[in-house]
Amino acid sequence: MQISLEGKVALVTGASKGIGKAIATTFATSGAKVMLNSRKQDALEAAKAEIDAACTAAGVSTDVEVFAANAGDLDAATACVDATMARFGAIDVLVNNAATNPYYGATLGVDPARYDKTFQVNLKAPLFWSQRVWEAGMRDRPGVIVNIASVGGMRTEFGLGVYNLTKAALIHLTRQLAHELGPTRVVGVAPGLVQTDFAAVLVENFGDRLAAQMPLKRLGEPQDIANLVTFLASDAASWITGDTYVIDGGAGVRGGG
C-alpha cells in the first residue's frame, strides 16, 4: 500500500502550528497542494516556509498557499474557500482542525459568551466550512472531509465539559454528513493528549503521570495524528466513511484500574 496525495488539493484550518501544521506538512510531502488557514498571517507565513523546506528536503515539488481567517467567521470561510478554488481549481480534502477552548470548569458554570464562542469555532465552523467546500465543487468532484474531534467527545471528564460537548456533536456531524454526502467521505479523528500549545497546561500538570499509565508509555506527538489523517484522506481509505477513529496511545483501553 502506498499513501500518496498526488493530484489532490487540501484545505486545512488551524494549520499554523500543532496538529494542523503536522497534517499540512505531511499532506504536502505526500504530494498534495495545500491551503493553510489560521488567524495570524505571520504564523502562517512561517509555517509555509517550514513546509516548503520539508518538501524540498523530501524531493517533492508541490504548492502551498496561506489564507488568514478566523474559522468562526463564515464570510471569511467563504473568502478562504474562494481563494483556494481560484489558486488551485478544486478542493479534494477539507480538514476541520481549528478549535478553541476559552472555558475550563464545571459545565453549569459556563457563561453564554464562552459557550457560544466554543460552539462557533468547534462546531459551527466545521459545518459551514463543509457547506462552502461542498458548494464550491465537492458536490461534483467527490472528496474527503476530516473532522478533528477528541476522545473527550466520547467520555466525561471534569473541566472540559463544554469543549467536549462540541466534540461529541462533531462526531455525530461526521456520521450525519457521511450519510448525506457520499460518495464524498466524511471521517473523524479523536486524539488523546497530544503535546501542543493547546494542551500545554494539561501536559505540564498531568503529562508524566498519564504517559506512565498508557500502554504505549508516551503522550501523542502532532505527527502521530498527521499520519492517521493522511491515511484517511488518501485513496487507501476509500471504503472508510462516517466513523471517528481514536488515537490515544491506548489510554482509553486501560479502564479505571
Ligand X SMILES: NC(=O)c1ccc[n+]([C@@H]2O[C@H](COP(=O)([O-])OP(=O)(O)OC[C@H]3O[C@@H](n4cnc5c(N)ncnc54)[C@H](OP(=O)(O)O)[C@@H]3O)[C@@H](O)[C@H]2O)c1
Maximum C-alpha span of the chain: 54
Measured from the CB atom, the residue of 158 and 239 that comes closer to ligand X is 158
Candidates 55-63, 67-75, 128-136, 177-185; binding stretch for ligand X (CB under 6 A): 67-75
Which residue's CB comes closest to ligand X? 18
Catalytic entry in 103, 104, 163, 245: 163
**Amino acid (1-letter code) at residue 23:** I
Q: Any idea which residue has 464562552 for its cell?
A: 114
- Within 90-236, residue ranges assigned H as helices are 112-119, 125-133, 161-181, 200-213, 222-233
Measured from the CB atom, the residue of 39 and 175 that comes closer to ligand X is 39
Cα dihedral sign, 186-191-196-199? positive
Question: By CB under 6 A, is residue 13 in contact with ligand X?
Answer: yes
Question: By CB under 6 A, is residue 83 in contact with ligand X?
Answer: no
- Distance (Å, whole) CA 154 – CA 229: 19
CB of 149 to ligand X, least distance (A): 7
For residue 163, indicate whether it is catalytic: yes
Measured from the CB atom, the residue of 181 and 246 that comes closer to ligand X is 246
Candidates 15-23, 49-57, 128-136, 205-213; binding stretch for ligand X (CB under 6 A): 15-23
Segment 176-195, which members bind ligand X (CB under 6 A)?
191, 193-194
Alpha carbon of residue 116 to chain centroid: 20
For residue 189, the number of C-alpha atoms closer than 13 Å in the C-beta half-sphere is: 27
Cβ partners under 8 Å of residue 100, min gap 6:
72, 117, 118, 121, 122
Question: By CB under 6 A, is residue 244 in contact with ligand X?
Answer: no
CB of 150 to ligand X, least distance (A): 4
**Interface positions with ligand X (CB under 6 A):** 13-20, 37-40, 43, 70-72, 97-100, 121, 148, 150, 191, 193-194, 196-199
Tell me the catalytic residues.
163
